[in-house]
Amino acid sequence: MNTAETADRQDVLLQVRDLRTQFRTPLGMLRAVDGVSFDLAAGETFGIVGESGSGKSVLVRTIMNLLPSNAHVPSSGKVLYRGQNVHTLSPLDAKHFWGPEMAMVFQDPMTALNPVKKVGEHLTESMRYHLKVSRKVAASRALSLMREVGIPEPERRLEQYPHELSGGMRQRVVIAMALACEPKLLIADEPTTALDVTVQRQILDLLVRLQADRDMAMILISHDLGVVSGVSDRVAVMYGGHFLEVADTRELFTHVHHPYTEALLRSMPRLELPTGVRLSAIAGRPPDMTAPPPGCRFAARCEYAQHDCEAAIPSLRPGPEPTHLFRCLFPLRIADDGSAVTTDPASDTQQVTA
Ligand SMILES: Nc1ncnc2c1ncn2[C@@H]1O[C@H](COP(=O)(O)OP(=O)(O)O)[C@@H](O)[C@H]1O
Ligand SMILES: [Mg+2]
């Protein structure tokens, strides 16, 4: 089986193997995550990009063991953290794991905050619960965390309630909460999507700085290829519950192999475009995951699709660059002799339709 493994990378932190998540729905079993595998090295930033509904949030919620009761995760799927299965931790081990090893930042800061608790309590409670530090130590750490995430007047803010803060400040508090136990891996699921454009950039810059300072690994999720590409060492493109392409960020943009990734690049908004120019959005809709097609999940929307594409799901295989994986029978930019054809990503991605 080909996976997005990084066996040659030192210090593998997380190994995800053939993860599947299904939901019981009135229309039948919905295969939200359908065979995802990847490795993450310590300190690495792994970006996951895909359209809404492709399974990104369910994937990370499955990793974090945060699924609703109508979810089913076949036990053949595995999430190993430093070799240990994180879904079979004892309650005591779990207490020292979620928070101190792995923590998460969600899209909407309000869902992570309790409206009747002060900002300071949010920070100190998590430290006291997971790290068993004294009230005094927790309070002083809370103050330095507030400074670290760039909240002005931190003493005053600690005494405020979530509704007294702006959206951007709330997300900074949520990030501070996630960092309170010094996790080795931070999962950020669309951390900037609910924020104004100017604040989005600040929060992304903050995450990048904190990650570098702490040598923390990060899984960053976005529906925006621009957001993940600016930040990630490696990018996975998700569609219909699994990865269609995974590669180091530079390699992905210089040698796009999957037609879906190419289509995503073409649909990216660009500031320099004159107003009135319409972007080439991808025509059609993602597959119904209660009854996914037997072949490539993108075939119905793919302008290069051929008959064979509809027969069976292509495996995730490497191209000329062994760590560049893609799930396509007729990949772009691979010459007939199997070598990579270099393209200028700038000229390639500037195509627009009027
Ligand atoms: N609790 C649930 N019950 C049923 N279906 C769900 C549930 N949560 C998510 N889904 C479905 O799983 C699929 C993937 O959703 P999600 O991971 O949230 O997508 P996104 O990539 O936008 O984060 C979607 O089809 C969504 O409707
Ligand atoms: Mg989501």
Residue 273, Cβ neighbours under 10 Å: how many? 12
Residue with the smallest CA separation from ligand 1 atom 6 is 23
Q: What is the number of the ligand closest to the CA of 51? A: 1
- Residue 37 in any domain: the answer is yes
Residues 273 and 325 in one domain: yes
Q: Which among 129, 161, 182 is the end of a domain?
A: 182
pLDDT lower than 70: segments of the chain: 1-10, 269-280, 343-354
Q: Which residues fall within 8 angstroms of residue 45, CB to CB, at 6 or more apart?
A: 211, 217, 218, 219, 220, 231, 232, 233, 234
Q: Which of 22, 30, 242 to mutate to test the pocket of ligand 1 (most atoms within 8 A of CB)?
A: 30
Range of the domain at 125: 111-182
Q: Which among 146, 163, 182 is the end of a domain?
A: 182
Residues 280 and 269 in one domain: yes
CA of 59, closest atom in ligand 1: 17
What gap in Å lies between CA 153 and CA 353, rounded to an integer?
48
Q: What is the number of the ligand closest to the CA of 58? A: 1
Strand order in the sheet with 102-105: 102-105, 185-189, 217-222, 45-49, 234-239, 242-248, 325-326, 317-318
What gap in Å lies between CA 259 and CA 250, rounded to an integer?
17
Q: How far is the CA of 58 from the centre of ligand 2 (A)?
A: 7
Its pTM surpasses 0.85: yes
- Residue 102 in any domain: the answer is no
Residues 143 and 83 in one domain: no
Residue 189, Cβ neighbours under 10 Å: how many? 21
- Residue 1 in any domain: the answer is yes
* CATH number of the domain enclosing 255: 3.40.50.300
Residue with the smallest CA separation from ligand 1 atom 9 is 58
Residues 52 and 130 in one domain: no
- Residue 96 in any domain: the answer is no
The pLDDT, as a whole number, for residue 29 is: 97
What residue ranges line ligand 1, CB within 6 angstroms?
Answer: 23, 25, 30, 32, 50, 52-58, 68, 70, 289
Q: Decide: 272 and 326 in contact? Cβ < 8 Å.
A: no
What gap in Å lies between CA 177 and CA 120, rounded to an integer?
10
- Residue 224 in any domain: the answer is yes
Residues 329 and 231 in one domain: yes
Model pLDDT for residues 141-173, shown as the tens digit of each residue: 999 999 999 999 999 999 999 999 999 999 999
Q: How far is the CA of 25 from the centre of ligand 1 (A)?
A: 11
The count of domains in the chain is 2
Q: How far is the CA of 22 from the centre of ligand 1 (A)?
A: 10
Q: Which among 182, 199, 226 is the end of a domain?
A: 182
Q: What is the number of the ligand closest to the CA of 191? A: 2
The pLDDT, as a whole number, for residue 273 is: 57
Residues 199 and 310 in one domain: yes
